[in-house]
Structure 1
Amino acid sequence: MTMTKVNVKRAVVTGIAAGVVAGLVKLGWENLLPPRTPARNATNPPQRLLEQLGVPESVTHATYTYSEQQMPYVSFIMHFGFSTTFAVLYQLARQKFPVITRGQGTLFGLGIWGLYHAGIMPLMGTIPSVKDQPVEEHVSEILGHMVWMWTIDRVGLGMASDAR
């Protein structure tokens, strides 16, 4: 049996690039199918999580102005941080455990949704329990996570094959 050597540099570079692209895709997805009502989005899950960790609201709700709109840059930092972290982990893991790429990342994305949106975040009180979330939220988040990880898979695969 041969041991597969993990190319960490390639995984980090492709993961960061794929995570940024997929983060943009997920933001676009959420504009088409918003996961939360405006009232529930007044403090979104990344902001709520930071507040649970003791970060003051003045920081979690900090914004910049673009085209006369207030944009929540702290939420964007969290969003892209989450996306690139999981993209790097996925790129590392795919080299050792190619089975995770079944479904071109969509099954992995579904697993991430289940772990965080149906498990960890409700248990922490960051978001409501699964039964208390509207069906529209489940549809947006489930499909959004599948598209997000599919993008990470495809961008990462394309970059990895270009590096050979």
Structure 2
Amino acid sequence: MNIFEQTHPSRRRYGLAAIIGFIAGIVSSFVKWGAEHPLPPRSPSDLFNAACAPESLIRAAEQIDCSRNFLNPPYVFLRDWLGVIDPNEAVYTFAGHAFNWVGVTHIIFSIVFAVGYCVVAEQFPKIKLWQGLLAGALAQLFVHLITFPLMGLTPPVFSLPWYEHVSEIVGHLVWFWSIEIIRRDLRNRITGEPDPEFPLSARAH
């Protein structure tokens, strides 16, 4: 099996793929969120002391929370890499609940990955293997197990609890599965043609 097999150039719809990816990214972000409710990835009792020191510049001592449940990857990324003073500051409120910058980052993260996946799928169809589950597993590997620890957004990978790995792999699999379902359905409906999976040497239909 050639994992770098390519579709015929005449059948690629990059612009449409980006639009569909934007839609799939928003919808799938709620799927990813939903997976974390029955399987929370972090515990309030797990401390992240290495990332806690800057909190003294934001909050009073009695308000500082050093748990990984609070110092989650989007929070630490916004605070340490983008310089957002308080990532938990409300963007808007709905029914008395605040939606903060961490939530916005979660959606943007989902959109970026969904757009990338949908655009790449136009040229390299093997990324869609197992209805997107392969891409979900790769995202879990490279983002949570490699990139996040290197950026200091999580503790070293070997110190992460088992339940975080379970939560993240399940969440990433259902997340990318939902992206693929939306991508394939919308693309087929809009173009009126089957999803392109023909090699570069094949003739366009």
C-alpha RMSD of matched pairs (Å): 1.7
Please state if 1:124 is matched with 2:154. no
Match of 2:203 in 1: none
* Aligned CA distance change for structure 1 residues 133 and 98 (closer, same or farther; 3 Å): same
Aligned-pair distance for 1:68? 3.7
* Aligned CA distance change for structure 1 residues 132 and 93 (closer, same or farther; 3 Å): same
Select between 152-161 and 62-71 the one with higher mean Cα deviation.
62-71
- List structure 1 runs of 4+ shifted beyond 4 angstroms: none
| In structure 2, C-alpha distance between the alignment counterparts of 1:158 and 1:3, rounded to whole Å | 20
Corresponding letter in the other structure for 2:81: L
Match of 2:14 in 1: 8
| In structure 2, C-alpha distance between the alignment counterparts of 1:99 and 1:11, rounded to whole Å | 16
Which of residues 89, 93, 96 is equivalent to 2:120? 93
Corresponding letter in the other structure for 1:48: V
Select between 147-156 and 45-54 the one with higher mean Cα deviation.
45-54
Structure 2, unpaired ranges of 5+: 1-5, 45-66, 193-205
Higher fraction of helix: 1
Match of 2:72 in 1: 44
Q: Normalising to structure 1: TM-score of the pair?
A: 0.91
CA-to-aligned-CA distance 1:46-100 (integer Å, 9 cap, x gap): 1101222141332x121244344443x2111111111111111111111100001
| In structure 2, C-alpha distance between the alignment counterparts of 1:56 and 1:89, rounded to whole Å | 26
Structure 1, unpaired ranges of 5+: none
| In structure 2, C-alpha distance between the alignment counterparts of 1:9 and 1:95, rounded to whole Å | 10
The percentage of aligned residue pairs carrying the same residue is 35
Match of 1:105 in 2: 132
Count of matched residue positions in the alignment of Structure 1 and Structure 2: 162
Match of 2:170 in 1: 143
Corresponding letter in the other structure for 2:14: V
CA-to-aligned-CA distance 1:88-128 (integer Å, 9 cap, x gap): 11111111000010011111011011001110110111101
| In structure 1, C-alpha distance between the alignment counterparts of 2:139 and 2:7, rounded to whole Å | 30
* SS of residue paired to 1:32: coil
Select between 105-114 and 36-45 the one with higher mean Cα deviation.
36-45
* Aligned CA distance change for structure 1 residues 2 and 18 (closer, same or farther; 3 Å): closer
Aligned-pair distance for 1:31? 1.2
Q: Normalising to structure 2: TM-score of the pair?
A: 0.74
| In structure 2, C-alpha distance between the alignment counterparts of 1:26 and 1:56, rounded to whole Å | 24
Larger radius of gyration: 2
